Each structure stands twice: as structure tokens, then as C-alpha cells.
Chains A and B, each alone.
Chain A
């Protein structure tokens, strides 16, 4: 399936819901959304990947790019993911050490609040 994107604000943190496949074709849309959010001064981001069916290196690149952008403003970008097939990609690339990865959106938000 194609990529569906949505976002909402909860407790001052912008949550991005991603559904479908993130690959060389669809990743530019996610990149544009992340850039747009940062340009609108949202520096605390949670990307919910629970409905992501496929993620490749292009998608990883977009997430790393988003992380760099928010960090430039002392922000952070955390992920919500429990799917083993997706987690495996973060693991083999070593990116589990780069991103905060949580099991639920509420857990990710709570973690961000405790960091403040």
C-alpha cells in the first residue's frame, strides 16, 4: 500500500502517524512533512511507526535527517515501534542507539516530558 501520513499535537509534542510503506518512492513525502513541522517550530517529535509495513534505507535516511533538524534546535525525535521486522532494520544499522524507541505513543511522550 501507499504511504499515509497524519499528525497531531499532544501535550506540546507533535506526534506523526505513519502508515504503509516508506521507500525510495514515498520517503520524500515523509521528509517534507518533517521539514514542515520543524519549520513551524515543532522540535519535539514522536514518529509512530506501528502501522508501517515496510521501511528501507531511504526511510532511515529521512528519519535521521529529521533527527538532525530537531537536534539543531535542542529538540528530539523518538520512534514508536514494536514490529520486529521494522526493529530489525534499526538494529542491523546500529540506529537503535541513535533513536529513542518506545512501545506506545504515551510512553514516548512520557519519556520526552521526563527529559525536559
Chain B
């Protein structure tokens, strides 16, 4: 099982870097070219959500992204360390395609984006990846996504 792990300061500018790394590792892991746009967008959404959560709660803490080749699946886990607060626990958003996970911070905010609900980014992820699990602990939220890979 090959693993690539990246940690980065919670700055919006680094989200693009995370997307590029994830796409490169996915390609290396044998994820089909037709799925790479999905990987790029889903990882970007997960990282945007984590960055926003860290900027609100723990700007000094880095966001972590782990990419691994697990047999026939390419797995990405984006983890934050922002406290989940009083948000209701709602583990495993597998295949629901709706709503935020626990403690999900909106990736868009301010009066201009009032039409976009919190957790919209996670809804986009659920619409893109066929395997998405959002889990929450007292120390943060992790978003696990996977895609089929064809490792030689």
C-alpha cells in the first residue's frame, strides 16, 4: 500500500496545490483519466472545507491529506482538527448526496452567498464520488473518498 501524505497551512492558496498533488497521485495510482476531474474537484472541496474550519477555529494547525493506493481503490482522506462543537453527530455520509457532515463549516460565507447553504461543498463531493464517508470525532472531521484504480 503506497501512501502519500501532505500537510499544509490552512491558507486558501494552498488548496490548489493539494488538488494538483492529489490528481498527480491518483494518476500514478491508475485512476482512469475520465475520473481525474472528479478527484480534483472532490479533493478541492474537502480541502476548502477543512481550510475554512481551521481558519475559524485553529489557524495555526495544518490540514492533513492522505492519499493511498489500497488494492483496487485510490483512497483520499482529508482531516481537520477543528472542534466540532455542538453540531449533531452524523457519521457516514455514504451516498446520501445531501447536507453537511458534522461540524461542517461552509466553504462560502458572507451576505453575498446567502443562497448557498453550509455544507454545499460536501454535497458536491457526494455528487461526484461514489464512495464518500464523513466522520466526526471530538478532535475534528475527516472526509474519506475513494475511486477505483487499476494498479498494474
Q: Does chain A bind chain B?
A: yes
B112 contact from A21, A31, A93, Cβ within 8 A: A31
Count chain A residues whose beta carbon lies closer than 8 angstroms to a beta carbon of B: 25
Is the Cβ of A56 less than 8 Å from the Cβ of B44?
Answer: yes
B107 contact from A24, A54, A65, A92, Cβ within 8 A: A24
Interface of chain A residues 21 through 63 with chain B (CB within 8 A): 21, 23-25, 27, 31, 35, 54, 56-58, 60-62
The residue of chain B having its C-beta at the shortest distance from the C-beta of A32 within the complex is: B112
Complex-state Cα separation, A58 to B105, whole angstroms: 13
B102 to chain A, nearest CB (A): 18
A89 contact from B114, B115, B124, Cβ within 8 A: B124
Complex-state Cα separation, A24 to B16, whole angstroms: 9
Is the Cβ of B16 less than 8 Å from the Cβ of A58?
Answer: no
Cβ-based interface call for A113 (8 A): no
B151 to chain A, nearest CB (A): 25
Given contacts A25-B13, A56-B121, A56-B124, 17 further A-B contacts (CB under 8 A): A23-B44, A24-B12, A24-B51, A25-B12, A56-B48, A57-B121, A58-B108, A60-B116, A61-B115, A64-B113, A66-B112, A67-B115, A68-B112, A69-B112, A85-B37, A88-B37, A93-B123
